[in-house]
Amino acid sequence: MPAAVATPGSPSRGKRKARDAEKSPAEKLEYLLTNSKSRLTNMDISDIINYNNFLELSGESQARLCELLPPTAFATYVPSVCFSHPDGRSAGQDSVDRMDVDETAGRTPATLDPMVFSSPFLLSAAHTWQDQLVSNWLGKKASDDLEKFKQGAREGTLHADWKDETWEEDHTPGAPARSKKKQTQASLDLTALVKHGLLQPDDVLSYRRIFSQLKVTVEKDLLVDTINANSQTVNFLLMPGTRESLQPSLLVAGSREYDGKVLSIEDIADPVALERGVLDVDGRVSYSDKYEDDAAYCHAPINQLDGVSEQLKNAIAVRAWKSFTVWRWCGDMEGQIEMQLVQEKGGRERVATLFYLRGCCTSGG
């Protein structure tokens, strides 16, 4: 007997609408900003936070938002140093004690720099906020856990391992060394994600990285084609050149039909190697340009990259982990072939960055 399907006029849909209508605007806003199932987790944050949407707000709302932005976001900002600084003293009478300056002066919608909404710093913070929303860090349980921690720290009931205790635990014969465990966590690769089910066939990996020195943004979608059974390494499909999106026919469940040329990157376990492959296909950022950008990010001279510390090498690897975002079908979308053909990324929804998923492996998630 076929299962009953709720039609637009069915009572179940009416009850759901009634429940939604009972919520106050404040409750709806709290749900959007704190619940891991919020629609904001599946949206491109730049579609929400942009200058056009800012202009649609009322004058009062614009002014309130301007109060929250740093002074560098406005055209009236003038770089300066404190009067007590030697450079400030050398300026003589032109120096101004920053304690006497109103930092909010000039922060108006009229002086706001529109480019602040496309700033990589703001977008990075917004994506971090999305990751925290997905992981329930903004929910009530996380807030209660944090308050419990603070209360335990104030009352002295919360025990934290001290340096000597940790050293003894790591060096006790037969006890698992915590330092070795950290090294294992740092050496995790894509095969660990595969074993935990965090990376699956038909997932889409979206690569995005801004090379500020070159003023180039590289974006490329990759399809998880197959996973090698023995090694658990991953084979990817992607479009040639600077073409970002995969062909719609490739995004359909179980389909590998395509017109034209499609490239593959095979036996991948290291996100750094995967990033190199993507940049080779895109062709706009050379190997040397990439590592020059990495060196600037890590504050290491380019001619010393071969001799940098493990900490700096890990920092370079982390950039690769954070540049890939996993997209996957949710619910019954995997069976909606017609919908997959017309929707972005075949109707897949954003899961998280590879960096976040790696953290789930180390925490046992």
pLDDT at res. 238 = 94
Any domain includes 3:
no
Q: Are residues 245 and 129 in the same domain?
A: no
Overall domain count for the chain: 2
Q: Are residues 31 and 107 in the same domain?
A: yes
Q: Which of 148, 164, 180 is the last residue in one of the domains?
A: 148
User: pLDDT tens digits for 50-90?
Assistant: 999 999 999 999 999 999 888 888 988 887 777 677 766 55
Q: Are residues 140 and 200 in the same domain?
A: no
User: pLDDT tens digits for 157-173?
Assistant: 766 666 566 666 666 65
Instruction: Tell me the whole-structure pTM to 2 decimals.
Output: 0.50
Q: Are residues 319 and 205 in the same domain?
A: yes
Q: Are residues 256 and 316 in the same domain?
A: yes
Q: Are residues 141 and 17 in the same domain?
A: yes
Provide the 10 A C-beta neighbour count for residue 91: 13
pLDDT at res. 132 = 86
Q: 3-class SS at 10?
A: coil
* 267 burial level (CB within 10 Å; 0-12, 13-18, 19+): exposed
Q: Which of 115, 148, 181 is the last residue in one of the domains?
A: 148
How confident is the model over 354-358, as a mean pLDDT?
91
Any domain includes 294:
yes
Domain that holds residue 352: 190-362
Distance between terminal CA atoms of the chain? 38
Look at 16-25, 139-148, 271-280 and tell me which has the smallest mean pLDDT: 16-25
pLDDT at res. 334 = 72
Q: 62-66, 178-182, 246-250, 257-261 — which one is most confidently predicted on average? A: 62-66
Q: Are residues 120 and 263 in the same domain?
A: no
Q: Are residues 100 and 236 in the same domain?
A: no
* 21 burial level (CB within 10 Å; 0-12, 13-18, 19+): exposed
Q: Are residues 266 and 126 in the same domain?
A: no
Whether 229 and 246 have beta carbons less than 8 Å apart is answered as: no
19 against 284, higher pLDDT: 284
Q: Are residues 129 and 233 in the same domain?
A: no
Q: Are residues 197 and 296 in the same domain?
A: yes
Q: Which of 148, 175, 203 is the last residue in one of the domains?
A: 148
With a pLDDT cut of 70, the percent of the chain lying above it is 75
